């Protein structure tokens, strides 16, 4: 544990306290709850990855993007999918260049070895040649390796890790616990500065205990009305207060219905942007009906709330 | 302070939040970073480090609140010193007379730690523990003091004794409450575990209505464990068997030099399961848990069709999919249950309508006691089922010694089953379903 890279040296002041994190993220337009900020605080101080869970569209990915922007660190993003393997996540050899190198070597070899006396001397000279074939020069870094090799640290986003295979999850363990990777031909590469790692999961499958144990866990719930209003205000600047209140109240009430997919923050924001585009200053039934497909993504859901729209709009107007 | 955190971790484990030693170390490092001063910060930080699912977050929150709630000692009315009363030297008496609520709470805490209150396991220990705490605080000396004061006829002394008496009564109450909270934190979960252990081994018939909820929880948890175990092995790389075609294809960009080798893979099918349940009175309880188990496994089972019969057979998949099992079962029972069973008729019904759905990848699970009320058992249909399917598993709630007695056709049916087993507890259920899943991998 002693040779673990020290985290957060360059941005020490920024992540010095939970309040400064809330403030900092707010500065780049991400309204973080205290739980979120605390998780980042701990992650920075203990250099541990954060596993972010929550339903689609609550701002899991956005959190990583905003954090990178705020800390001024490069964001390295890796999208997981079934079949993702080391060669796409970690490193790949530059096969083409290796091929050229062998050709080069062959030509050169003739010249060098031409005047050698006997096989032994030829071998001796060959050894002096240096083993370049599997060296860092021919290494094509993929996201994980790239993140470890950033001089100033990085924000590494491993998106939708639940979609990856079991084997890949096991392979992540080394990266996440020691911030190092082993490349059989070269050896172990250790991060200079531990990156801040976010893993996001939609709970497609339950993550293994080993992975969970190595991570801090952060669950982002759907926001309450107050928080959501602040988020809308931050993300859709210029929206009128009364419209914003109605809009958020409407979405909040919609979440109480029995829906297949509850609208989350990203849908609220999209909807707010639509309202801005249409130059609307208050909700009315007709308008809501026409734009409901922005909020609800299933035909059955739209069908299910169609009847209660006037009622909800009326209540939202009073909010 | 380290000890406090350890106690908290114990309490968390009791509430079924998994805390491994590594996580305990994390917790200590977290506390080092954030300190104890800010309560919300401490809670959020520990929560991030320890609770790993949203369920655990809920449990963590309630545990944290309970653990770190120090009910303030009820404020006793400030009373002026009694003129002329003798000086008391006993620390406990001084506390009771003039100490603040916080001082008293702290004294009790110390006494409780010394008495090992966190080790409480059984409800019956509560009285003893309360007594031990009070003894450590100096109850005996206090009582002696009160006695002496009462005996000395001076009015101020008697008044003082009265006040100490009152203080002692209050103290008893506080100590009792304190112990009750400790019990809640450390022991309740242990009792729960004991109960679940017992239920796992109890015969499915013997389970009382009041334990059904708990049983369902157990079954769901078992199913979840199996599901995670089997969900992971969908593809299997055969090491050492080269996939020549795909290797050649991949080598094209490198001028035909096979830099990348591709190995052959076997894809693993998810199980197809057909369940046929006898829902006559004698088997209904077992059927409920079998169905609950299988329906909790939906992540790893490709298709699951359920049929129920007593005299006739009907498909019940739809009812089970649309309703929680606890509601669905009574509905099914109402529809077809409680009539005299006829296995032959049920098999005939199945053969007529649903036999087409059974193929070489289907596992058929039959749950029933095999008592056909002397009707024709239709062994020929059983043979057909056996030949068409991957395997036929017969679960019989009766112990094996009863098979064949009276109207039981079990020995004849058994010939055409790949597995015939007694299944009377949920542990049996788990084992058998584990075997079924294993057979697909």
Mutation for testing the A interface, residue in B17, B18, B44, B60 having most A CBs under 10 Å: B44
| pLDDT above 50 (res B158) | yes
Looking at A43-47, A182-186, B91-95, B408-412, which range is the least confident one? B91-95
Confidence class of residue B138 from pLDDT cuts 50, 70 and 90?
A: confident
Question: What pLDDT is stored for residue B238 in this prediction?
Answer: 59
Average pLDDT over residues B113-141: 81
Q: What is the mean pLDDT of chain A?
A: 84
Structure confidence at residue A76 (pLDDT): 93
The predicted pLDDT at position B236 comes to 60
Within A59-186, strands assigned E span 75-79, 91-93, 139-141, 155-159, 180-183
B193 or A196, higher pLDDT: A196
* DSSP symbols for A47-82: T--EEEE-STTSSHHHHHHHHHHHHT--EEEEE--T
Whether B44 sits inside 8 A of A209 (CB atoms) is no
Chain B residues in contact with A87 by the CB 8 A cut-off are 260
Q: Using the predicted structure, report yes or no on whether residue B184 has a pLDDT greater than 80.
A: no
Is the confidence at residue A176, as pLDDT, over 60?
yes
pLDDT (tens digit per residue) in A126-157:
777 666 777 888 888 889 888 988 888 899 99
The percentage of chain B sitting over the pLDDT mark of 90, rounded to a whole number, equals 1
State residue A38's pLDDT score: 92
Distance from CA of A78 to the nearest CA of B (A): 22
pLDDT at residue B13 above 50? yes
CA distance B79 to A240: 60
The predicted complex's ipTM stands at 0.78
**Residue pair B17/B47 in contact by the 8 Å Cβ criterion:** no
- Between A35, A50, A166, which is nearest B44 by CB? A35
Contacts across the A-B interface (CB distance below 8 Å): 74
**Per-residue confidence band for A4, with pLDDT thresholds at 50, 70 and 90:** very low
Going by C-alpha positions, the residue among B89, B85, B15, B8 that lies closest to residue B42 is B8
pLDDT at residue A2, as a whole number: 40
Mean pLDDT of B295-318: 81
DSSP annotation string for A287-303: HHHHHHHHH---HHHHH
CATH topology of domain B272-438: Rossmann fold (3.40.50)
Q: Give mean pLDDT, residues A31-43.
A: 90
Considering only CB atoms, which residues of chain B are within 8 Å of chain A?
Answer: 18, 20, 22-23, 26, 29-30, 33-34, 40-41, 44-45, 47-49, 51-54, 56-57, 224, 228, 231-233, 235, 253-255, 257, 259-260, 299
Band the pLDDT of A117: cuts 50, 70, 90: confident
Percent of chain B residues past pLDDT 70, beyond the cut: 90
Residue A40: band (very low, low, confident or very high) from pLDDT cuts 50, 70, 90: very high
Tell me which range, A129-138, A172-181, B336-345, is most confidently predicted by mean pLDDT.
A172-181
Give the chain A residue whose CA is nearest to the CA of B232: A166
Taking the whole predicted model, whether its pTM rises above 0.90 is answered as: no
- Identify the closest residue of chain A to B233 by CA–CA distance: A166
Q: How confident is the model at residue B76 (pLDDT cuts 50, 70, 90)?
A: low
pLDDT the model gives residue A199: 93
Suggest the residue from A45, A46, A173 to mutate for an interface test with chain B (most B CBs closer than 10 A).
A46
Do the Cβ atoms of B177 and B403 come closer than 8 Å?
no
CB contact under 8 A, B49 and A212: no
Q: Lowest mean pLDDT: which of B234-243, B313-322, B353-362, B380-389?
A: B234-243
Sign, CA dihedral A217-A222-A223-A224, equals negative
- Mean pLDDT value of segment B278-297: 78
Would you state the pLDDT for residue A78?
92
Tokens of B174: 């506080």
Closest approach of B299 to chain A, Cα-based (Å): 9
Mean pLDDT, residues B428-432: 84
pLDDT band at A1 (very low <50, low <70, confident <90, very high): very low
Instruction: Report, as an integer, the average pLDDT of B416-431.
Output: 85
Q: How far is residue B310's CA from residue B244's CA, in Å, rounded to a whole number?
A: 55
pLDDT digits (tens, 9 = 90+) for B29-46: 999 888 888 888 889 899
User: CB-side exposure of B383: number of CA atoms within 13 Å?
Assistant: 4
A165 to B47: CB separation less than 8 angstroms, yes or no: no
The arithmetic mean of pLDDT across residues B75-95, rounded, is 67
Mean of the pLDDT values across residues B380-392?
A: 88
| Lowest-confidence region among A283-292, B294-303, B341-350 | B294-303
Average pLDDT of chain B? 80
Q: Give the separation between CA B371 and CA B410, rounded to whole angstroms.
A: 8
Distance from CA of B288 to the nearest CA of A (A): 26
Say if residue A258's pLDDT is above 90.
no
Domain range annotation of chain B? 2-67, 91-189, 235-267, 272-438
Within 8 A by CB and 6+ apart from B29, the residues are A46
Output the pLDDT for position B268. Answer: 65
Q: Residue A57 half-sphere exposure, CB side, CA atoms within 13 Å?
A: 15
């Amino acid at each position: 544990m002693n040779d673990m890279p020290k985290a957060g040296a360059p941005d020490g002041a920024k992540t010095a306290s939970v309040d400064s994190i809330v403030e900092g993220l707010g500065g780049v337009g991400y309204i973080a709850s205290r739980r979120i900020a605390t998780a980042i605080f701990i992650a920075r101080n203990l250099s541990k990855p954060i596993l972010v869970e929550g339903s689609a569209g609550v701002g899991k990915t956005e959190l990583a993007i905003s954090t990178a922007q705020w800390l001024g660190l490069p964001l390295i993003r890796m999208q997981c999918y079934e079949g993702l393997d080391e060669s796409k996540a970690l490193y790949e050899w530059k096969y083409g260049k290796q091929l050229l190198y062998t050709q080069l070597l062959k030509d050169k070899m003739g010249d060098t070895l031409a005047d050698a006396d006997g096989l032994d001397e030829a071998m001796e000279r060959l050894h002096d040649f240096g083993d370049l074939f599997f060296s860092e020069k021919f290494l094509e870094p993929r996201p994980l390796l790239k993140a470890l090799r950033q001089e100033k640290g990085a924000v590494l986003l491993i998106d939708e890790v639940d979609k990856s295979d079991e084997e890949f999850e096991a392979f992540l363990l080394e990266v996440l616990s020691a911030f190092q990777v082993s490349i059989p031909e070269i050896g172990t590469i250790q991060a200079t500065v531990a990156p801040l790692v976010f893993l996001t999961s939609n709970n497609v499958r339950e993550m293994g205990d080993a992975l969970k144990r190595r991570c801090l866990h952060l669950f982002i719930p759907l926001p309450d009305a107050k928080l959501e209003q602040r988020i809308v205000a931050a993300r859709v600047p210029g929206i009128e207060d009364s419209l914003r209140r109605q809009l958020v109240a409407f979405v909040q009430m919609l979440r109480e219905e029995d829906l297949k997919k509850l609208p989350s923050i990203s849908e609220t924001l999209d909807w707010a942007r639509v309202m801005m585009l249409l130059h609307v200053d208050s909700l009315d039934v007709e308008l809501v009906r026409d734009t409901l497909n922005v909020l609800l993504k299933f035909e059955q859901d739209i069908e299910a709330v169609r009847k209660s729209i006037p009622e909800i709009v009326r209540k939202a107007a009073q909010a | 302070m380290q000890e406090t955190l350890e106690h908290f971790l114990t309490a968390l484990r009791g509430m079924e939040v998994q805390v491994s030693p590594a996580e305990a170390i994390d917790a200590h490092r977290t506390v080092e970073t954030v300190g104890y001063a800010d309560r919300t910060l401490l809670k959020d930080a520990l929560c991030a480090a320890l609770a790993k699912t949203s369920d655990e977050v809920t449990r963590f929150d309630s545990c944290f609140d309970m653990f770190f709630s120090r009910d303030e000692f009820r404020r006793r009315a400030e009373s002026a010193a009694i003129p002329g009363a003798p000086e008391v030297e006993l620390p406990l008496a001084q506390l009771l007379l003039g100490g603040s609520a916080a001082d008293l709470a702290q004294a009790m805490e110390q006494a409780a730690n010394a008495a090992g209150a966190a080790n409480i396991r059984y409800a019956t220990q509560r009285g003893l523990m309360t007594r031990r705490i009070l003894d450590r605080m100096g109850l005996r000396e206090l009582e002696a003091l009160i006695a002496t004061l009462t005996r000395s006829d001076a009015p101020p002394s008697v008044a003082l004794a009265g006040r100490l008496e009152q203080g002692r009564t209050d103290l008893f109450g506080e100590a009792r409450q304190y112990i009750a909270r400790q019990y809640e934190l450390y022991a309740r979960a242990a009792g729960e575990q004991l109960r679940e252990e017992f239920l796992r081994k109890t015969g499915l018939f013997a389970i009382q209505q009041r334990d059904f909820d708990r049983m369902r929880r157990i079954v769901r948890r078992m199913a979840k464990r199996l599901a995670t175990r089997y969900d992971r092995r969908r593809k299997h790389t055969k090491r050492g068997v080269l996939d020549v075609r795909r290797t050649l294809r991949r080598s094209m960009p490198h001028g035909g030099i096979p830099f990348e080798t591709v190995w052959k893979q076997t894809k693993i099918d998810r199980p197809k399961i057909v369940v046929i349940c006898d829902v006559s009175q004698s088997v209904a309880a077992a059927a409920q848990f079998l169905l609950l188990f299988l329906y909790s496994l939906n992540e790893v089972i490709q298709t699951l069709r359920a049929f129920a019969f007593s005299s006739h057979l009907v498909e019940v998949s739809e009812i089970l999919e649309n309703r929680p099992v606890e509601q669905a079962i009574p509905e099914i029972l109402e529809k077809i249950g409680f009539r005299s069973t006829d296995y032959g008729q049920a098999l005939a019904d199945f053969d007529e309508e649903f036999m087409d759905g059974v193929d070489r990848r289907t596992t058929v699970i039959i749950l029933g006691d095999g008592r056909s009320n002397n009707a024709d058992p239709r062994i020929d249909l059983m043979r057909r089922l056996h030949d068409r399917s991957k395997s036929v598993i017969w679960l019989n709630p009766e112990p094996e010694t009863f098979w064949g007695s009276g109207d039981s056709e079990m020995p004849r049916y058994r010939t055409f089953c790949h597995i015939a087993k007694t299944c009377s507890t949920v542990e049996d259920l788990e084992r058998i379903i584990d075997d079924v899943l294993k057979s697909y991998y």
